[in-house]
Structure formats: structure tokens, C-alpha cells
Amino acid sequence: MAELETRRLGRTEMRPKSLGMGCASLSRHTDQESIDAVRYATELGINYIDTSPAYGDSERKVGLALEGGWRDKIYLQTKAGSHPQRRGYTAEDIRWSVNNSLKMLKTDYLDAVLIHDPGDINIPLAPGHALDELLKIRDEGTIGFIGLGVRSHDFHKKAIETGNIDIILTYLDYTLLDQSVAKTTLPLAKKYDVGIILASILSMNSLTGIEPKNDAITHDMWEWCNNKGISIRDLAIQFCLAVPIDGIVMPGPGTKKHVEEVYKSATIDIPPEIWHDFRAKFGVGI
């Protein structure tokens, strides 16, 4: 098996392992399952943990997992603007959200905070709103870096071109099924030295290895892999790991077993002929 490589996350100069852990699905599991998942991931060397107040009680569970010295072992990222009790992108909303996240996560410092899922990118970027407030909080020493987590490539572009965004989290648009972000955000991020996080790389569970039933192409890929004696999850994760970015890829395991599965998929040896045949069949591969 290969090992996870250390990556440079753009101009942040943070040096996480290539595989991060998204924590949205922790809300579907018990406190102990969540604690075990986060700590097991950390033991395996996965050292970039991402959460959000929008992910149910994920922040609280991550906070529990990081007690007792575990916080010092990882880069910790959350988001702002999408808290269900106070969704908004004014300076007051963002300040409240960051302070609440610090409390939930039981920490006094966040390595990164992302503006999360705005419906109109002009609102958080407007003077005196989310971006300006995050810059103030950064200058106060409470957060390290500022980013944007949203799907729209146009929103990525506007945010990157402010010169004040250090990280872009893009999701669903670099997978075995869709690589559209490779033509838009990825080259722009490279130009501005912005770190990239590829999220939802398993396409909302379509590429986990469980039989997909809602899409013919995905099912064909799954069946092809089964006939070859491999998991589509292995190809899905390593395909994303192979893209030349200054950044990381981020699946969302919710339990220790799920962590073990994604780590194995990221590090297992895949014969070159598998990739050759997969590309010949589906037009995508390494």
C-alpha cells in the first residue's frame, strides 16, 4: 500500500495529508461513533478536519473528539453564514457564528473558516459583510485563513479575484462522473495560489461501492469494477488524489469503519492496466 502524501494547501502553507475528513455525516451517528471516527482518522494520519454549523450536531461531536489533546494533532476548519438558527452574512451574523463554533468545538483557534453556501456571492463579499468581518477576526488571531465553500464556479471566481480568499472548497464537480471544475476554478486557483479542497468526491454516496440504482452510467462503472474484483470507491478516491492541485480531497466518513474504508481506498495499489481499461471503457481515469 502507498502512504498518504503531505500536500501544500496553496498560499496558506498549511501542510495537511492529501486525504481530509469531512464531518457532515457525523450527525447521523452517536457521540461515541463520531469520537471514534475522528480519532481513528487522526491516528491514520488524516489531519485536516472539516465541519460546519449547518451539519446538524457535527461541530459538537468534533469538539468532543478533540478533547484531551487531539485538537493539537489536526488542522480544524469550519464554516460561517449557514447556521440554521442564524443564517446570514452580515458582520454580526459571522461574528456570532464564529464565536458559537469556537464554543461547540471547544477551541480558541480555528485554522480556517469558510463562507458557506451563499445564495448570492455579492452579499458576503460586500463591504462590511462576511469577508470583511472574517478578515478582522483573522487579524485578531482567532482564525488562520479564510475560504469559500459553495458549488458555483462563478462564485469561486468572484471570491478568488478579491485577493482575500485563501481556500476554495468545491464539491461534486471533480469526480469520476464530473470534472467540470478542472476547466474553471482549478486553473484560477493555481493562478492566485489558492488552496483547493475537493469535497463530495464519492458523489453523494453514488461511488461508495454500494450498488447505485438511479443512474445508468454510475451503475455501469460499479458493475465493471465488481467484475474486475475491485471497488469503485478505490478508483473514485484515487482519481481525485491524482489531480495536480495545491490542496486535498475530502470524503465524508461517519464511523470508524467508514474511515478505514476510505483510507484503504486511498492507499491500495491499483494496477495500471485497471486504469487503462477503465479509461478505454468510460473515457475517464488516471
Report which DSSP code applies to 286: -
What pLDDT score does 208 carry?
92
Q: Is residue 58 part of a domain?
A: yes
Residue 121, pLDDT > 90, answer yes
pLDDT of 150-209, one tens digit each? 999 999 999 999 999 999 999 999 999 999 999 999 999 999 999 999 999 999 889 998
pLDDT of 252-265, one tens digit each? 999 999 999 999 99
Confidence band (pLDDT; 50, 70, 90) for 109?
A: very high
Q: Is residue 101 part of a domain?
A: yes
Region 80-85: what's the mean pLDDT?
A: 96
| Closest by CA position to 149, among listed 90, 77, 101 | 77
Q: Is residue 226 part of a domain?
A: no
Instruction: Report whether 115 contacts 131 (CB < 8 A).
Output: yes
Q: Is residue 227 part of a domain?
A: no
Q: Is residue 223 part of a domain?
A: no
Region 16-24: what's the mean pLDDT?
A: 98
Q: Is residue 203 part of a domain?
A: yes
Confidence band (pLDDT; 50, 70, 90) for 215?
A: confident
Give percent of the chain with pLDDT exceeding 70: 100
Q: Is residue 266 part of a domain?
A: yes
Confidence band (pLDDT; 50, 70, 90) for 221?
A: very high
What pLDDT score does 3 carry?
83
In this structure, what is the dihedral angle of CA atoms 121, 123, 127, 131, given to the nearest 10 degrees? -60
pLDDT of 35-69, one tens digit each? 999 999 999 999 999 999 999 999 999 999 999 99
Q: Is residue 254 part of a domain?
A: yes
The CATH number assigned to the domain holding 34 equals 3.20.20.100
Residue 227, pLDDT > 90, answer yes
Query: Comparing 36-45, 97-106, 201-210, 275-284, which segment has the lowest mean pLDDT?
Result: 201-210
Number of domains in the chain: 1
* φ, ψ of residue 22 in degrees (nearest 5): -85, 140
Confidence band (pLDDT; 50, 70, 90) for 13?
A: very high
This prediction has a pTM of 0.96
Range of the domain at 241: 15-209+233-272
Number of residues that make up the chain = 286
What pLDDT score does 1 carry?
58
